[in-house]
Structure 1
Amino acid sequence: MRALIIQHDHISLPGLIGERLAQRGYELEAVTIVPAGRRHAPTVDFSFPDPGGYDLIVPLGAPWSVDDEAIGGWVGGELKLLREAHALGIPVLGVCFGAQALATALGGSVERAAHAELGWLGIETDVPELVPPGPWFQSHYDRFTLPPGAVELARSTAGPQAYRIGRSLGVQFHPELTEEMLRMWLDHGLAQEARDQGLEPQDLLTRTRELGRGARRRTFDLVDAFLDRVARP
C-alpha cells in the first residue's frame, strides 16, 4: 500500500501519523512543495503526481492560508489532485491546512476563524471512538466550512474541528506533532506567534513533553479508526 504525504514546506512533517501508517503497512512517499529557502517566498512551480497511483493521500499543515495569493501558483494543482482523489474513491486524511484544502476542493471554503487557537486544547466530539476529545495541539487562524455531503464530527469555539466526507477525514488540529517538530516550528516563527498571543514558547514545549505518551496513543487511535472505519471500502 502506498501513501502520498504532501508536505507543504520542509518543517511540515508526517510525524506520529507517518509512524502509525508505516506500522500499518503503508509505504510513505513524501513530496515537499516549498523548499527551505523559499518558505518566505512560496511562489514556486510544482507538479503534483497522479493520485491514482496511491492508496491514501495525506496533505499536512502549512504556514499559509489556502486562499493566500502567495501560493496561487501551486495550490490549484493540489485542489485538483484532491478532487480527483475523491472522485476515484481514494481516501484522504487532511490535517489543518490539508483539511481546509480538501474542504475547498470539494465545494466548501476557508475563512478566518472566530479566534486563533494555539497550544494543547480539547475539542467537542460527536464520535470519540473516531476523533478523541484530546487535548490536541492547535496552531491556526483559519477554519473550513463544510463541503456538500460532509458531516461535521467535532468542533471548538473557533469553528469545526473534524469532518468526514466519503472515505476521507479532515481534522483542524495537529495529531502528527512531536516535540522535535514543535521545536522546528518555534524556530521558524511560531515562538513569536505564541508571544503575540500571551503564551510562552517554553511552556508549549513543556506541555508537549508532559502529554507526549497520551498524545501518541490518541494519534495512533485516530489513525487506526480512520483506516478501519472511514477509509475502508
Structure 2
Amino acid sequence: MSDLFSPVAAVRASASIDTTVADRRVPRGLTRFAGAALLAFPALFSAGMVFSPPQTEEGDAGYIASLAADPATSLLSANLLHHSWVALALGVMGLILLVGRRGRVWVSLTAVLVAFGAIQMSGLLLSDWFLVAAGNVLTPDQAVLLNATAKDDSMMPWFLTAQLLGLGGLLALSLGLARAKVVSWWIAPLPLFAFLVPVLNIGVFAAIAFIPLMAPIIVAGVKLMRLR
C-alpha cells in the first residue's frame, strides 16, 4: 500500500498520464482542413473584393445603386465574401494546435473572439441580397429608407462585434502568433494595413493586396497543413 505513495510510483503514474494525453492527437485530416480553411480566407475575400461593383456615388444611395446595377456580379461578390468569413471561422480555432505554453492563453482567447467576429461578418453579408432586390424594386429614396430603417440602433452591437472582433481581432491574433513564435514579428502587423488599404481607393489593387497582407494567417495555415 505504501508503494502507492513512493516517489517511483508517482513518477510512473505521471508518465502514464502524459502518455495517455499524448496519445489523444487531433486527426491529421482535421488539421489539414483547418489549414486549408485559413488559406481559403484571404483568397475568397480578395476575389469577393475584385468582383465588388464599383460605387460611383458616396453614401447608401450610391452603394445600393451599384449593387442593383449588376445583380449577378454583386451576388457573386457577396457569396465570396460570405464564404471567406465562414472559412476563417472554421479554421481559426486550429491555430491553438500550433502554440506551446508561450502565448497559449492569448492565442486561444483571440482565436475564439475572431471566430465569433467572423460569424458576425458572414451574417452581415445577407444584407446585400436584400439591397440588390430593393434597388431594383423600390425607388432610390425608398431603398435608402429601407436600409436606414433596418440599420437602426438595435443593429449596432452586431456591427461593432463584427468589425472589432472580425477585423481588429485578426491583428491581435497575429501578434499572439508572433509571441508564440508561430510567425515572424515583422509580418505580424500586416493585417492592420489589410483594412486600411481600401481607403486609398486604388480599386482592384487593394483587393489583390489583401492576400500578402494576410501573411501571418497564410503562414499559420501552411504550418497547420504540415502538422503531424
TM-score bucket (shorter structure): under 0.3
Q: Which has the higher strand share?
A: 1
Q: Which has the higher helix share?
A: 2
Using structure 1 for the length normalisation, give the TM-score. 0.21
Using structure 2 for the length normalisation, give the TM-score. 0.22
Larger radius of gyration: 2
